[in-house]
């Protein structure tokens, strides 16, 4: 069925289920001549791989990526890139008792209402494990963006109500929570430990910062960069909120405060989050993403089964306490996929745009 592909010139399709033999991605539209290796992609996958930090699912997966096509002698050929990651530790029998039960907060009920059939093993395609394929594809997008010096950083600014106040971009890559604030990091770890003991789970907020994004990315109407980013980010499981720049605060701001004044040196502030008319302004892109707590907590939950009988369940098995931090590299990957697609789309415009007046407005 439809709905497994994202992008126009840079197209990503993912396939696979959490407890099937494998997950993977087909990446079509990557330009030729870029260096790309399994090692490069693996480095990104390691950031999402389960079982590496406090409160993460203990499922033992190497998440080893196999690059099947589209690369010859270390360089992309311009043809489709196929990436596959085999599942090694599914333990599907743990899901047998849940076969005819709808877990609250998970996708069991809606998948069943839609298809009338579902792969109950580990949530099937609705599992957070599907995101391994997205991160693999996002690594290809990263290679394209590197050619234009475009950087994407994502980091945890809130975990279970504990806020990060500092934004130390070096520190985010030194801790497993991708937290930019060493003080908040300690508090977040304590919160995970306490919540884990209580048998409960946590949500949080991830901020995404994209630097050196040239002005002009995004189409004017339906494929606005803002809309495409919202779609890509909200396509990730457990995402419940998305903000651009000042986000929901704009509702309370006056226009005289909200607008970012423009000087010959550039914009004087960035409440717009780098997007005007849905098109990148050349300022940093700043996005915020609200992530809900993991639905599989250990407390008793009310639900129904396939016979519509009311029952109580207690979910055991292997689960994250929070989708944070492992969702953080997924959100970077989705942002990169959208930016790579729109960069390629804008390069076609620029080939002609340079004939018009004011070419000095463009650096790309
Ligand atoms: C990286 C990541 C890890 C996740 N880990 C778990 C988990 O261990 N257990 C669980 O029940 N849900 C987990 N989730 C959340 C569910 O996949 C998600 O809640 C489910 O697909 C329902 O979708 P929704 O929350 O968007 O409505 C995870 C999600 C992500 C993105
Ligand atoms: C395996 C991963 O996370 C899984 C995401 C997940 C869910 O319901 O989303 C449920 C758990 O699956 P299982 O019960 O098979 O262990 C997590 O372990 C992964 O992200 O690689």
If you average pLDDT over every residue of the chain, what do you get?
Answer: 96
The two tokens of residue 299 are 């407390």
Distance from residue 347's CA to the centre of ligand 2 (Å): 39
State residue 364's pLDDT score.
45
* Alpha carbon nearest to ligand 2 atom 12, residue: 122
Burial of 73 by CB count in 10 Å (0-12 exposed, 13-18 middle, 19+ buried)?
exposed
What is the predicted pLDDT for the residue at 68? 98
User: Tokens for 3?
Assistant: 């709905």
- Cβ 218 vs Cβ 224: under 8 Å: yes
| Ligand 2 neighbour 122 (Cβ under 6 A) | yes
CATH of the domain at 266: 3.60.150.10
- Whether 217 has a pLDDT exceeding 90, the answer reads yes
| pLDDT on residue 359 | 64
Domain hosting residue 251, numbered range: 5-361
pLDDT in tens, 137-177: 999 999 999 999 999 999 999 999 999 999 999 999 999 99
Alpha-carbon distance of 199 to 301, in angstroms, equals 12
What pLDDT score does 344 carry?
98
The predicted-structure confidence for 99-141, as pLDDT tens digits, reads as follows 999 999 999 999 999 999 999 999 999 999 999 999 999 999 9
pLDDT of residue 313: 97
> Is a pLDDT exceeding 50 seen at residue 184?
yes
- Go through the chain and tell me how many residues it has: 364
For residue 3, the model assigns a pLDDT of 93
Q: What would you measure as the largest C-alpha separation in the chain, in angstroms?
A: 70
Residue corresponding to tokens 């260096």: 35
CA dihedral (175, 178, 180, 184) positive or negative: negative
Give the distance (Å) from ligand 1 centre to CA of residue 39.
Answer: 27
In angstroms, the Cα distances linking 52 to 47, 48, 148, 172, 176 are 9, 9, 32, 15, 8
Mean pLDDT for the stretch of residues 32-41: 98
- The whole-number pLDDT of residue 219 equals 98
Split into its structural domains, the chain has a count of 1
Confirm whether residue 292 is marked as ligand binding: yes
Instruction: Assign 322 a pLDDT band (cuts: 50, 70, 90).
Output: very high
d(CA 339, CA 150): 9
Distance 254 CA to ligand 2 centre (A): 44
Instruction: Dump pLDDT digits (tens) for 325-361.
Output: 999 999 999 999 999 999 999 999 988 887 887 766 6
Q: What 3-state class would DSSP assign to 35? A: strand
pLDDT for res 152: 98
In the three-class reduction of DSSP (H, G, I as helix; E, B as strand; rest coil), residue 335 is classed as helix
Residue 358 confidence (pLDDT): 75
Q: Indicate the range of 32-36, 223-227, 321-325, 349-353 predicted with least confidence.
A: 349-353
Looking at residue 353, its pLDDT comes to 83
DSSP assignment of 185-233 = HHHHHHHHHHHHHTT--B-EEEEEEEESPPTT-S-SSTT-HHHHHHHHH
Q: pLDDT tens-digit profile of 67-77?
A: 999 999 999 99
| Residue 111 neighbours by CB under 8 Å, 6+ apart | 118, 124, 126
Its pTM stands at: 0.98
Distance CA 254, CA 33 (A): 49
Q: 103 a known binding residue? A: no
Measure 319 CA to ligand 1 centroid, in angstroms.
9
277 annotated to a ligand binding site: yes
Summarised one tens digit per residue, pLDDT across range 42-52 is 999 999 999 99
**Mean pLDDT, residues 301-310 taken together:** 97
Residue 2, pLDDT score: 87
Atom of ligand 2 nearest to the CA of 127: 9
> Is the per-residue pLDDT at 363 higher than 60?
no
């Amino acid at each position: 069925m439809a709905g497994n592909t994202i992008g126009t010139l840079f197209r990503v399709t993912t396939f696979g289920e959490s407890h099937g033999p494998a997950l993977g991605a087909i990446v079509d539209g990557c330009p030729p001549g870029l260096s790309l290796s399994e090692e490069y992609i693996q480095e990104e996958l390691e950031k999402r791989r389960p079982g590496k930090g406090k409160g993460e699912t203990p499922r033992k997966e190497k998440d080893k990526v196999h690059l099947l096509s589209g690369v010859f002698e270390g360089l992309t050929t311009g043809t489709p890139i196929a990436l596959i990651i085999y599942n090694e530790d599914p333990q599907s029998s743990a899901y047998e008792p849940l076969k005819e039960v709808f877990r609250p907060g998970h996708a069991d009920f809606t998948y069943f209402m839609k298809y009338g059939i579902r792969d109950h093993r580990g949530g099937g395609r609705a599992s957070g494990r599907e995101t391994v394929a997205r991160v693999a594809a996002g690594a290809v997008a990263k290679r394209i963006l590197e050619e234009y010096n475009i950087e994407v950083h994502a980091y945890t600014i809130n975990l279970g109500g504990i806020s990060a106040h500092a934004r130390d971009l070096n520190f985010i890559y030194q801790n497993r929570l991708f937290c930019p604030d060493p003080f908040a990091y300690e508090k977040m770890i304590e919160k995970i430990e306490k919540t884990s003991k209580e048998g409960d789970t946590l949500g949080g907020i991830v901020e995404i910062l994209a630097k050196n994004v040239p002005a002009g990315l995004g189409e004017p109407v339906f494929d606005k960069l803002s809309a495409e980013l919202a779609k890509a980010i909200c396509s990730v499981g457990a995402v419940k909120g998305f903000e651009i720049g000042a986000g929901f605060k704009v509702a309370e701001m006056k226009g005289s405060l909200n607008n970012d004044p423009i000087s010959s040196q550039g914009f004087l502030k960035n409440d717009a989050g780098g997007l005007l008319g849905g098109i990148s302004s050349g300022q940093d892109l700043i996005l915020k993403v609200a992530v809900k707590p993991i639905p599989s907590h250990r407390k008793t939950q009310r639900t129904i089964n396939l016979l519509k009988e009311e029952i109580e369940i207690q979910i055991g098995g292997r689960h994250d306490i929070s989708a944070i931090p492992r969702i953080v590299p997924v959100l970077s990957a989705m942002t990169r996929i959208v930016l790579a697609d729109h960069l390629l789309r804008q390069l076609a415009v620029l080939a002609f745009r340079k004939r018009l007046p004011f070419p000095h407005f463009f650096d790309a």
